[in-house]
Structure 1
Amino acid sequence: MTISPSFPYQLYLVISEKDCLGKDFLKVAEQSILGGVDIIQLREKKASTEDFLVKALKLKDITDKYNIPLIINDHCKVAEKINSAGVHVGNNDRSPSVLRDQQFLQDKIIGYSIEYLHQLENEHTKVSDYLGISPIFRTDTKKDTVTEWGLDGLSQIRSLTDKPLVAIGNINLSNVSSVIKAGADAVAVISAICAAENPEKAAFELKNQILK
């Protein structure tokens, strides 16, 4: 696969305490990095700002230790307070074009989830550093999405934009190679690592499939 110079990350972990199914999410994060995860997003949709901040600070200690970028899902105040590598937003969050005007985010990573093809033409896509293509396959982890893209949808998006594409949605060891071949620059996973008995091994095996 060709690595995008503007987004040189291939295995992207989206993590929350809930998705780790009782395991220490900080240990899961560290094990995933040791296994090959290149970038991590903290996604805590139901946490209070205070709780989110506490978790983010603890996780950033780990990501900084290994020089791994930490992305914060949606919560820009938390992102700024911990000086994260960037933020990721969806269609119901603050738009990338508004976020890019904020001083803190002018030189940070902004990810933007795509649910419709027409979004490829809007101003938010233009100022984003990567596009989250969600979901590739239906998943119980995220139920508020509109389009199930599938491999054909991902290929179509690849043909329409040069932006780095991060595919997410029920991606696992059995289908990750197909997702990369369909045009993803990176794959984002939740359950495939967070719910794994051995997160380090799960990350290692996924990374190996991506690099094949």
Structure 2
Amino acid sequence: MNLRCAAMQKLIQADLYGITDAPHSRGRSTMEVAASMLAAGITVIQYREKDKSQRQKFAECQILRDMTRQAGALFIVNDHPDLALLTAADGVHIGQDDYPPGEVRKLIGPDMILGLSTHAPVEAQQAQQEDVVDYIGVGPLFATRTKRDVCQPVGWDYLDYVVHNIRLPFVAIGGIKMHNIREVASRGARTIALVTEITGAGDIAVMVRNLRQQLKN
């Protein structure tokens, strides 16, 4: 099994997809929050920091790459294929306004996984047809305050569409909390990304345990 297939197997098997977010981490460092997520058994960490310098992002990603490797977890970099390459990440995740997926695939090569945020059926269809994207983000399902340029919530209709019409693996994201994660899962989402619910938790281990209890129920 090649590196990309092995990474995708790990992503598909993940229940929770962790994303860093310094402004909503209660003053804790990105490394401290990531360490808590890894200790709680989260097996996918995406580095998503919008307001730091490239030098700081590089330094943090170097540390996170070592941490995730030691924990046997995936390390994915948001937005920056160059940063993913420089730090030997397992993957990169891009948005609709970033470089075209086909061009990013040429840059990162065949071994790194590529994720793409989608917000509408046409975007999911195009990602599937282009055959260079490994998984898609589906959302934001609900209103979210973690991104300044976020689109309007896509709601249940788009999630239902992807579940029934798209073959690509997907990660549900956007405004997912303790009170709604159970319904997100019941509609077919197997891997679910939460940002502030985890990074802003007083005790991340307890939060992850409680979220998983909701998924079991």
With the length of structure 1 as denominator, give the TM-score of the two structures.
0.91
**Structure 2 match to 1:51:** 56
**Structure 1 match to 2:153:** 148
Q: Which runs of 5+ in 2 are unaligned?
A: 1-8
Q: Check if 1:174 corresponds to 2:179.
A: yes
**Structure 1 match to 2:212:** 207
Q: Which secondary structure state, in structure 2, belongs to the residue aligned with residue 122 of structure 1?
A: helix
- Per-residue Cα deviation, 1:93-118 (whole angstroms, up to 9, x for no partner): 1122111122x331211110002211
| Contact persistence 2:135–2:169 (CA under 8 A) | yes
Whichever residue aligns with residue 184 of structure 1, its letter is A
1:6 shift after superposition: 6.9
Q: Which runs of 5+ in 1 are unaligned?
A: none
- Per-residue Cα deviation, 1:55-101 (whole angstroms, up to 9, x for no partner): 11111221111011110001111111110000000011112211112
**Structure 2 match to 1:13:** 18
- Per-residue Cα deviation, 1:11-34 (whole angstroms, up to 9, x for no partner): 001103222120122121111122
Q: Which secondary structure state, in structure 2, belongs to the residue aligned with residue 7 of structure 1?
A: helix
Q: Check if 1:114 corresponds to 2:147.
A: no
CA shift in 2, pair 1:188/1:123, >3 Å: closer
| Contact persistence 1:37–1:207 (CA under 8 A) | no
Per chain length, whose mean CA-contact separation is higher, i.e. which structure has more relative contact order (CA < 8 Å, sep 6+)? 1
Whichever residue aligns with residue 111 of structure 1, its letter is G
Q: What is the aligned length?
A: 209
Q: Name which of structure 1's ranges 27-36 and 182-191 shifts more when overlaid on structure 2.
A: 27-36
> Matches of residues 1-212 of structure 1 in structure 2 within 5 Å?
7-102=12-107, 104-123=108-127, 126-212=131-217
| Contact persistence 1:35–1:202 (CA under 8 A) | no
The CA RMSD measured in Å over matched residues stands at 2.0
Separation of aligned partners in 1, 2:70 and 2:10: 23
With the length of structure 2 as denominator, give the TM-score of the two structures.
0.89
Whichever residue aligns with residue 32 of structure 1, its letter is M
Separation of aligned partners in 2, 1:24 and 1:49: 17
Whichever residue aligns with residue 63 of structure 2, its letter is K
